Amino acid sequence: MASASANGPNALLVSVVLLATVCACTAMSPYAAGLSEDFYYESCPQAASIVDAYVTKFLKKDRNFAGAFNRLQFHDCWVGGCDGSVLLNSTETNQAEREAHVNFGLRGVAEIDEIKAALEQSCPGVVSCADILILAARDATAKVGGPTWSVALGRRDGGNSTALMADTNLPFPVLNFSGLVANFAAKGFGAREMITLSGAHTIGRSHCNGILPHLYNFTGRDDANDTDPAMNKNFAVFLKKLCPQGNRTNTIFIDSTANNFDRAYYKNVLQGKGIFMTDSTLITNPVGKKVVTTFSKPRSSFFTEFAAGMVKMGNLGVLTGTEGEIRKTCQFVN
């Protein structure tokens, strides 16, 4: 039998099929170009296990660091992409992201640098601070009862970090529902994804700085009685004891089970016990209230959707290849 010719219509058909296959494979990948799960397989195969061991160590000392590591990923990726810029120190001529109002009380930076030092001992100049943040957030979430997810690596570290960038990009804790939707839409996330990632507030703690407007300045009057009327009355009294008017530095847990990743956050919001305005506002919209109600129930898809949201967030604005650098220490550019 004569073989089919590779020219003419057959060749065109083969080309179309191959192109469709390539496009389908590309579309199926949940990771940004340049990232892969086995990125350090040859250059630093122990990278993930080193990060995991240190996260375990930190959580044994203070289980609430899980919230800190989650917050670091969000506050890094939301400002110019996942490039480790949130870790950089200010200089004489530049106020870095950590000095932003919205980053008040940011924790975990020294711990990330400790992980980095261990990686530099094992694999000098290989693993980026940006990747450490992504791994630490995933590992910490899983270790306090939350979901786990596959992590693609290969990010490189950026050098551009300003307080203005952070205050311009990150959502302030006084935004209403439409403001939150707009903030997340600017990064390519929908309203449901915004409500899902708000579930990170199921772990962690906060300084009173971000809570005071909810208790004393809900309508702009700035007095002791200007409290969100939708807040549970007994809960408001409880919060005011922990966060007296004008006290910005006291710290409180932001969830009734703040050391465990669970669905209690959504139950609290439904009961009028959201810590921030951005928590309480989730149920001021009927679509938002429906999602919150769904996520508050056992066997809901919250864990699965949260994991997917963290993977998607980890793709934002990544530097790969020869872009950026691999810092020697996370708080300083090389």
Domain ranges, ordered by start, for the chain: 46-204+254-315
Q: What does the DSSP 8-state code read for residue 276?
A: S
257 is an annotated ligand-binding site residue: yes
Nearest residue to 323 via CA among 12, 32, 34: 34
**Residue tagged active-site, from 75, 101, 207, 214:** 75
Determine the pLDDT at residue 11. 46
**127 and 329 Cβ atoms separated by less than 8 Å:** no
Determine the pLDDT at residue 220. 87
Separation CA 185–CA 116 (nearest Å): 33
81 is an annotated ligand-binding site residue: yes
202 is an annotated ligand-binding site residue: yes
Nearest residue to 313 via CA among 167, 159, 134, 55: 134
In the chain, which residues have pLDDT < 50?
Answer: 1-7, 9-26
Active site (annotated) includes residue 75: yes
Determine the pLDDT at residue 21. 45
Q: What does the DSSP 8-state code read for residue 332?
A: B
Determine the pLDDT at residue 14. 41
Measured between alpha carbons, how far apart are the two ends of the chain, in Å? 66
Separation CA 51–CA 278 (nearest Å): 32
76 is an annotated ligand-binding site residue: yes
Nearest residue to 159 via CA among 129, 132, 134: 129
Determine the pLDDT at residue 28. 67
CATH class of domain segment(s) 46-204+254-315: mainly alpha
Determine the pLDDT at residue 322. 97
83 is an annotated ligand-binding site residue: yes
Determine the pLDDT at residue 2. 42
Determine the pLDDT at residue 27. 52
In which residue are the tokens 């949201």 written?
309
Tokens representing 324 are: 């950026």
79 is an annotated ligand-binding site residue: yes
Determine the pLDDT at residue 224. 86
Distance of CA 244 to the CA centre of its chain: 29
